[in-house]
Amino acid sequence: MGLRVLGIDPGSHVTGWGLVEAVAGGARQVASGVSMPRARAGARRLGELADFLDRLLDEWRPDAVAMERAFMGRNAMSALKLGEVRGALLAVAGRRGIDVVDYPPASVKVAVAGNGRAEKAAVAVGVRHMLGGRHEAGDSTDALAVALCHLLHARHERRLAAGSPGGGTVVAGRRGRRGPRALAAAPPVAETPVRAALRLRARSVRRTRLA
């Protein structure tokens, strides 16, 4: 059994989830769905959502959890509610000792659709292309996209590690043993969707640190 990733698209009203598993030559969908807590009170809604994630983790036993990073829009109240949802989900994973990797929306879109500004319909097409089956635009499909983004990221990191033992050349001459002249003469490496997603994620991390 390959790497199993639970992707989560958190929302103040509807939270999407999708589980994918690495297989030879690609990935397969294991399960997906949405969580819509019935309680109206904020604390109870968060409690229902936390219980739901607990059950998901018990049932499917993912190796990793990936979550879409909150988009900071102009509505402060919406951002606050979304932050509470993320906090509840992170607490559940943290209590179990599971690390949660978050990805900016643009990185997810690049990974599955090849465009950081892709609309939901284009993301659904990308998910359909990578997993097969029917996938309509929506929260569960977005969650599958997050899981696929992490699966591609993890696969790319393993290839880099396998191709650069002992701290050799990593990516396009960033660091290696060939010397600056050889690196300067090396042809540029074409940017794949995975490399673009990694670049966007690294840029986002740098901005967060500077802030």
Contacts with 140 (C-beta within 8 Å, 6 or more apart), sequence order? 9, 16, 17, 18, 32, 33, 34
Task: Using the structure block, give the residue that is written with the tokens 């968060």.
Answer: 46
In total, the chain counts a number of residues equal to 211
> Which among 9, 21, 102, 142 is annotated as catalytic?
9
139 catalytic residue (yes or no):
yes
54 catalytic residue (yes or no):
no
> Which among 21, 58, 59, 139 is annotated as catalytic?
139
Write b or e for each residue in 90-106: b if 16 or more Cβ atoms lie within 10 A of its Cβ, otherwise e. bebbeeeeeebbbbbbb
In angstroms, how far apart are the furthest CA atoms of the chain? 64
- The distance in angstroms from the start CA to the end CA of the chain is 40
> Which among 21, 48, 59, 68 is annotated as catalytic?
68
Coil, helix or strand at residue 186 = coil
Task: Using the structure block, give the residue that is written with the tokens 């043993």.
Answer: 177
59 catalytic residue (yes or no):
no
Please give the positions annotated as active site: 9, 68, 139
